[in-house]
Structure 1
């Protein structure tokens, strides 16, 4: 027999996906090499080989393997891997071109809600490709096209979190409730037309609208191009004869049944088809969870059957077991036309007849005599019975439905039926010459030697009403609504934080349930929100909980190191740096923490080395460039600081810290116009940061514009009522504007907020000196001298000039 090329390739693909799913990437890579050698011109083989290289971290090899079919857009998987490699290697235009060329292959695909434990879609759909396109456009600095791609991705799949994060990073105003709602697009994916399912059993029509697929069949179907990669494509006739994917049959039957082995039921000539059975269309509907009103669909009528004689029920010597009944469906069966002539049961709760014994008459399921015979003498009160042994003398008329004699093995079968009588009657195959009714309790099948797999319905629990079809769908919609609500809260919090509306972000995150709130990601977001408000103590508490909960987490830990730097907690900072280095010595966050530790010890040269190491590990890590610029400013190397800040802005245009650093350098260089411009750029990105507003006011104050400076200081005090710096500068400008009464009120509040600040007492002494209150002036000058002995020359000069009425503008730096 000739070797089947398709089956060999299918087995290799099966093995590759098996090893990829079990994270055995090297094994998958080896097998992908064998598949590519076996089918060197196959696009699927090129895709799998490049995919394995990408999973193994070999980005350049992945790009080389997928370039042939991916760069030309001939295979959507290869184009996707090629674009991912281009994103990592900085060849953004090449990746964008590859995805655009393959757009006809993925634009109509949507695999949302089509992945499960038993089925998968191994090729990317439109939502995933749009998300990758958005990343490529954003890296290419075309934010408008990036936003469009992110929006398209979220329209198709609102749970594409990467697309939402990318959308927030562009700085656009996101209306979160419009994204996370039960839209018609989502409903079109999870619902299907009942009419289509009735017309073609086993055929899952593509949904209309933007999610419609160009292929036929259910996505898990063997004939579907994006179906289960583990299944060998079947011929057209085999596809038409099956009911769906193997995953559906496993969910329906509770066991693994091959799709190819489940064929359409064969009806022999003259065989009765029990009307209690579910048709193939109904079985597919149950397996797929398709619901509809009860009156909208009726099971098909049973085919006409021939009159049977008693010979068709006889037992012969062939040794075949009698046919067994199939179990009843979930709900009571509507009566068919053939049953309308039969007498109805008196009651559904009546006691079932006793199990058949040797010598009993053959009866129907309803308990009536199958064929009237001459009366036989029986025991008083006993039901009319006839021994089944009499049937042995009757020659069967057909061999297909003949049953075996009651040999030793069949005797055991009878005992099984007798013992299982209380459990219910079997319902696996059609019965001959019997009246089938849904009011009877189903019997347990004793046919354990059946060779053909039979599709069985889900047994209904006695005494429990059947579950309506719409109940399952309502549960799915309820779960989907809950997930959309959860994502809406998470997205609202992150969106507010990305726009630096920190109190709003904290409110959204605190509205989460305790289980969702006490997770590393949410706690990190809360820590960042408090850090942006300069509430370093609260931020440290959240980050400490993250560190305790997930010691190996490195994301956002560079912010935690800066929080500890501001709190001057050198012990915790050194411990954090050591722990991050142990977790991942190749992460830029670890080297930022080490650099902050050296910076706190005023070892700026070692800190610069650490920050440069972080930028080498990740050239797009903007925060490391900003910290590097701060160290250059501390060393008064302003030119190098400008370069570092500019690299940070190039890595992330919305990194306001780098804009703030540029403004600081220009301020120190005396270029006040440039300083004001860069401070305003930073404040545009982060309009709620009181420090940035104070910096603008300081530059305006230096430019002899105290009135505008006072407006900025008042705004800063409104944004941060506990900011000592904002109130101090506000009081100083009020003194320049000769508004001594309000200045004194501000300084009194400030003295209570920062009683150990020498500058506050020095400014109070100067104000009391202007107000000719020498006693209070000497008191506060003396306090300032005790708090800061290094400023003794300035304080002594002020004390010696108490008799002068001139106002001094000098203060302690």
Structure 2
């Protein structure tokens, strides 16, 4: 009876019938309440997104597998202290972490979210050393800015580790013909062969989704699945099958759910009207977002400020855009071929064929040739996923996998270090079939986004949507791209598509919030962004967007709190540092402003906008020479960004270097011929030089360019005081 119930439970899990699995497993536990059966019941609840049930079942259990499952339950319920205690019991200091690489990865996540970065890095590296194919651990190291070169992580040491895990153990027992799961299903219950059910025999030939036996993997794995989602109540987008071994061996589960009916958050009829509202014209946006409205003005007194950037998810740290057409015309770089529009054929332009043709040959040296020869001579076979391969094929396959991870990993590492052009070049070396996937195309879009290539970012994200319209990867950033491009209709359509795909994903609500924010409905946008935070409290970008909306509503106190919440989740979320710096700059707390801009600059030293505002804060602190140096760096970093040139001219004017300031402004006029702020500043300089006719001419041109109402008042006041001595008037 027990064997049949166990087999039925696992079969139900294999077919994603979690309710049936829970019911039958409860019968199993009633019949035989062993800890192994309780683990199986907890696994059923976890896969049904009922972490609280698994928590109650496993609380107080001491076996390694029970502690690991309990830690996952605690993690999903945001009980991080209990999760840590389960993995590292106080009475066992220095004890072994359950489930090997997966356990270290989970512990690393716990340390990361409890602000113990060094410990987190240590455990992520341990996880990678145990299982070199645990990509999620390398991703976390990249996000923390602590990843080594992918060529090192996925190099010879990783090859030897994989060889040890697959080959040495496989050769030692080449006649094993049953998968680990089904072997444990039969043997761990101490049943004789006569008690094996027909269903058990049916599944003994590796009929599992990812059945890499634990005995061939060295360290325990999460059945090929990364640890659980980072949100207590968030529904996963998909389900991965996984079962718990009945002998308590270190195998674990992933949250797999059948999504329940979703409660409406915004009235559907009202939401469909968004697109109709999105065509209304609006004035210049005045909020702390980098990558500003095309008509936004830059004033010496920082009357308007610009928006934000991203770290995995956040608004772009772009310049204050003086003219989106004249200044931010984005061209396709030479040599950067894009995916052909015919996605169905999946064919890319062939400009990079030569560099991508032989992916496997790049990595063939990873494995010692002597091992390959000995395996070929011996004719050894190795079980992988219930299927037997020759040792040489396993080595060749692992070499190809590591080569692929090297390219993907290096590109992702460079992106996290904001070396975006280098990252793009790395991604271009990928084979076509991998480049044309949503994850890679989304990373390409993010890289162009950081480089202020909004049009290229739009193209990349659009291609990603066409390849996999169900994927939400990078869609929060895509909505920000459309926000900056002021693509009202496309943004509205994207928001509706995302919410229809998954209403419980924070990316969907970030897109909806950007729709309202673009229409200057900041109160509604704030409510929407709070909904995204509610769905996933560890989604740093949603906190940052809340901060932007608070600043737009002049609620600086809550704005700072939102930015700080983002930094608690990700200390390298540089646009949150930038957002706090902008608030302090507006409040004229220049020392605090300099500190926060400096922190953002340390994380992203290639952002022209961060350098521009850091220079502004330095100038306000009377550190004009340092300010000039940082402005020069900002100009070199992005010559299309007019903001640092404008600020440099402003600083030179304050130093009474009028000719140098006019020279900079004349150059700036070529980039921004219709920006009123440039002409207004030139008029002020001519006034300081007592050249009243030229001053009046430039003030008049500034007014003709239809500046904002605030700037109109300032310019008219300057005209009225044209003959007033400079020492009495310095407000423009």
Q: Which residue of 1 is the match for residue 164 of structure 2?
A: 188
1:742 to partner: Cα distance? 4.0
Tell whether 2:66 aligns with 1:90: no
Q: Which has the larger radius of gyration?
A: 1
Q: Of the candidates 487, 503, 508, which is equivalent to residue 590 of structure 1?
A: 508
Q: Does 1:519 align with 2:437?
A: yes
- Looking at structure 2, the residues matched to 809 and 180 of structure 1 have their Cα atoms a distance apart, in angstroms, of 64
Q: Which residue of 2 aligns with 1:25?
A: 18
CA contact (8 A) 2:635 2:644 kept: yes
1:477 to 1:609, Cα distance in 2 relative to 1, 3 A: same
Q: CA deviation at 1:77?
A: 2.7
Shift of 1:756: 1.7
Tell me if 1:555 matches 2:473. yes
- Report the counterpart of residue 68 of structure 2 in structure 1: 80
Q: Partner of 2:32 in structure 1? A: 39
Distance (whole Å) between structure 2 residues aligned to residue 293 and residue 497 of structure 1: 39
In 2: Cα distance, 1:173 partner to 1:188 partner = 24
- Kept after mapping to 1: 8 A contact 2:51/2:73: yes
Which one of 180, 184, 200 corresponds to residue 229 of structure 1?
184
The CA distance in 2 between the partners of 1:514 and 1:780, in whole Å, is: 54
SS class of match (1:191): helix
Distance 2:436 2:641 in 1: 29
> Offset at 1:762?
2.5
Task: Quote the residue 1:540 is aligned against.
Answer: 458
| C-alpha distance after superposition, 1:258-291 (max 9, x if no partner) | xxxxxxxxxxxxxxxxxxxxxxxxxxxxxxx997
- Once residues 177 and 247 of structure 1 are traced to their aligned partners in structure 2, the CA distance between those partners, rounded to angstroms, is 43
Q: How far 1:97 moved relative to its partner? A: 2.5
Q: Residue in 2 aligned with 1:337? A: none
Which protein has the bigger helix share?
2
1:617 aligns with 2:609: no
Q: Which residue of 2 aligns with 1:60?
A: 52
Distance in 2, matches of 1:778 and 1:68, equals 81
Query: How far, CA to CA, are the matches of 2:12 and 2:391 in structure 1?
Result: 35
CA distance in structure 2 between the partners assigned to 1:601 and 1:293 by the alignment: 66
Measure, in 1, the Cα distance between the counterparts of 2:393 and 2:55: 44
Which deviates further from its counterpart, 718-727 or 555-564? 555-564
Aligned partners of 2:480, 2:55: CA distance in 1, in Å?
Answer: 38
Gaps of 5+ in 2: 195-199, 207-370, 382-387
Determine the structure 2 residue equivalent to 1:16.
Answer: 9
Report what 2:580 is aligned to.
Answer: 662
Change beyond 3 A, Cα 1:36–1:655: same
TM-score (norm. length: structure 1): 0.62
- Contact 1:628 / 1:644 at 8 angstroms: preserved in 2? yes
Counterpart Cα distance in 2 of 1:485 and 1:697: 43
Does the 8 Å contact 1:503/1:529 carry over to 2?
yes
1:179, distance to aligned residue in structure 2 (A): 0.9
After superposition, where does 1:94-133 map in structure 2 within 5 Å?
Answer: 94-101=82-89, 125-133=99-107
Counterpart check, 1:50 vs 2:26: no
Give the deviation of 1:621 after TM superposition: 1.9
Equivalent pair of 2:530/2:542 in contact (CA under 8 Å): yes
Change in CA separation of 1:50 and 1:732 when aligned onto 2, cut-off 3 Å: same
Instruction: Return the alpha-carbon distance in structure 2 between the equivalents of residues 709 and 594 of structure 1.
Output: 39
2:138–2:147: 8 Å Cα contact kept in structure 1?
no
Other structure's SS at 2:16 match: coil
Contact 1:747 1:760 in 2 (8 A): yes
Q: 1:730 to 1:97 in 2, by over 3 A?
A: same
Q: CA deviation at 1:713?
A: 0.8
For 1:638 and 1:246, the matched residues in 2 are separated by 66
Q: Name which of structure 1's ranges 78-87 and 558-567 shifts more when overlaid on structure 2.
A: 558-567
| Aligned-pair CA distance for 1:294 | 9.0
Q: Distance in 2 between matches of 1:772 and 1:683?
A: 39
User: 1:600-615 alignment to 2 at 5 Å?
Assistant: 600-615=518-533
Please give the TM-score of this superposition, normalised by the length of structure 2. Answer: 0.68
Q: Does 1:570 align with 2:488?
A: yes
Task: Give the aligned partner of residue 637 of structure 1.
Answer: 555
Q: 1:808 to 1:795 in 2, by over 3 A?
A: farther
1:187 Cα offset (Å)? 2.0
Superposition deviation, residue 740 in structure 1: 4.2
| Distance apart, 1:134 and its partner CA | 1.3
**Which of 143, 148, 159 pairs up with 2:133?**
159
Report how many aligned residue pairs link the two structures. Answer: 552
Larger RCO, structures 1/2 (Cα 8 Å, 6+ apart): 2
The answer to which of 92-101 and 611-620 deviates more is: 92-101
Match of 1:493 in 2: 411
Q: What whole-Å deviation, never above 9, does each CA across 1:723-768 have from its counterpart, x for those lacking one? A: 1111111222223334445434432332222222111233344455
1:138-191, Cα deviation, whole Å (9 max, x unpaired): 222222221111111111212112211222222324232111013222222232
CA contact (8 A) 2:544 2:562 kept: yes
Whether 2:643 is the aligned partner of 1:725: answer yes
**How far apart in 1 are the matches of 2:724 and 2:189?**
103
Match of 1:327 in 2: none
> Within 2, Cα distance between the matches of 1:516 and 1:529?
17
Aligned partners of 2:452, 2:193: CA distance in 1, in Å?
Answer: 68
Change (3 A) 1:570 1:809: farther
Q: Which moved more, 1:94-103 or 1:769-778?
A: 769-778
* Residues 1:649 and 1:177: Cα distance change in structure 2 (over 3 Å): same
